């Protein structure tokens, strides 16, 4: 699958699944804009890939802040050209001593922050970039949901599940709205993927997932990236409004 002549924007692209997405799109020939709050890791990744002859641009921003997202998009489009592929990947899943906080102990500020980072960020980038896609009658949007958005999981908290379910609602709605303009909108629902987000979890949490996953292992970020590259490829041009599990058969939601 080639992505040459594409301009891709990956949120949360400095580490974990996002960094692998950036590498994969760049290797497939795309120009890639990275938006992340981690300027050190984001700049290092961009410099490394530029050193390999890839077109990559990093812009530091908090994806929860609409104006910062708009500024990041302006800088990326100035550097690379109009974005035709948006990957809403940035996300957080706060834990306390490795455990999710039950609703009766949850700090309202934590609830609001997770909604801002996991959900409002997707609104921000869709709102900013959809007008250009509509004008050009082409676009690809892929957002990161989770199996936790489709089934109850005791290893995450209510704010996380709620935002990941909302991403599915947003995906289906935008698929309907934007389809007539040649824009596909899909979501991925990863299972447990081996990234910094899960690295801090107690070993028992991963062991329990592995034991109930038919493929008996955690997923690799590259396996999520492969599914994302497919959904945003020419070959997936008739797939929209879908949520694809990348979960080794875990839960089969
Ligand atoms: P990760 O390793 O924690 O990486 C997320 C990246 O997003 C980090 O670089 C992080 O920066 C950045 N980020 C977080 N909040 C931000 C903000 N407000 N503004 C800008 N950048 C921000 O996470 P991951 O495991 O790769 O997860 C990527 C996506 O997949 C998330 O949406 C997650 O919910 C979803 N997902 C992951 C799994 C899994 O098992 N890993 C499963 C299902 C779904 P910092 O390092 O500074 O925080």
Name the H helices within 52-155: 66-80, 108-115, 121-136
What's the rounded Cα separation, in Å, for the pair 128 and 105? Answer: 35
Q: Is 197 inside a domain boundary?
A: no
Q: By the 8 A CB rule, do 61 and 71 touch?
A: yes
Domain that holds residue 140: 7-192+225-246
Please give the positions annotated as active site.
160
* Tens-digit pLDDT profile for residues 177-220: 999 999 999 999 999 999 988 887 888 889 999 999 999 999 99
Domain count across the chain:
1
Helices 16-27 and 39-51: angle between axes, nearest 10 degrees: 20
Q: Is 135 inside a domain boundary?
A: yes
What backbone torsions phi and psi does residue 83 show, to the nearest 5 degrees?
Answer: -75, 125
Atom from ligand 1 closest to the CA of residue 63: 19
Whose CA is closest to 247, among 229, 207, 228, 220?
A: 220
Residue of the CA atom closest to atom 3 of ligand 1: 197
Q: Is 199 inside a domain boundary?
A: no
* Tens-digit pLDDT profile for residues 99-120: 999 999 999 999 999 999 999 9
- CATH number of the domain within which 153 lies: 3.40.50.720
- Ligand 1 lining (C-beta closer than 6 Å): 12, 14-18, 36-38, 62-64, 89-93, 117, 144, 146, 190, 192-193, 195-198
- How close is the Cα of 13 to the center of ligand 1, in Å? 8
- How close is the Cα of 135 to the center of ligand 1, in Å? 30
What's the rounded Cα separation, in Å, for the pair 25 and 231? Answer: 12
Atom from ligand 1 closest to the CA of residue 224: 30
- How close is the Cα of 12 to the center of ligand 1, in Å? 6
* Tens-digit pLDDT profile for residues 64-93: 999 999 999 999 999 999 999 999 999 999
Q: Is 207 inside a domain boundary?
A: no
Q: By the 8 A CB rule, do 252 and 51 touch?
A: no
Atom from ligand 1 closest to the CA of residue 145: 44
Q: What is the pLDDT of residue 204?
A: 87
Q: Is 211 inside a domain boundary?
A: no
């Amino acid at each position: 699958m080639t992505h040459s002549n594409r301009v891709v924007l990956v949120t949360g692209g400095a580490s974990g699944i996002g960094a692998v997405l950036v590498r994969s799109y760049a290797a497939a020939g795309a120009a890639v804009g990275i938006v992340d709050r981690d300027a050190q890791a984001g700049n290092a990744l961009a410099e490394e890939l530029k050193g390999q002859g890839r077109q990559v641009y990093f812009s530091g921003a908090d994806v929860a802040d609409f104006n910062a997202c708009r500024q990041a998009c302006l800088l990326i489009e100035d550097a690379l050209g109009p974005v035709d592929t948006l990957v809403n990947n940035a996300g957080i899943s706060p834990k306390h001593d490795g455990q999710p906080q039950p609703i009766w102990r949850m700090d309202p500020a934590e609830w609001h922050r997770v909604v801002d980072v996991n959900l409002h960020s997707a609104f921000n980038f869709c709102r900013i970039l959809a007008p250009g896609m509509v004008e050009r009658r082409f676009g690809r949007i892929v957002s990161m949901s989770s199996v936790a958005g489709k089934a109850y999981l005791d290893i995450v908290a209510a704010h996380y599940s709620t935002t990941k379910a909302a991403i599915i609602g947003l995906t289906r709605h935008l698929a309907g709205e934007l389809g007539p303009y040649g824009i596909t909108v899909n979501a991925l629902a990863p299972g447990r993927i081996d990234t910094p987000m899960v690295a801090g979890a107690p070993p028992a949490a991963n062991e329990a997932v592995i034991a109930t996953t038919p493929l008996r292992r955690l997923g690799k970020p590259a396996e999520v990236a492969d599914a994302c590259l497919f959904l945003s490829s020419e070959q997936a041009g008739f797939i929209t409004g879908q949520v694809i599990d990348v979960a080794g058969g875990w839960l089969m939601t």
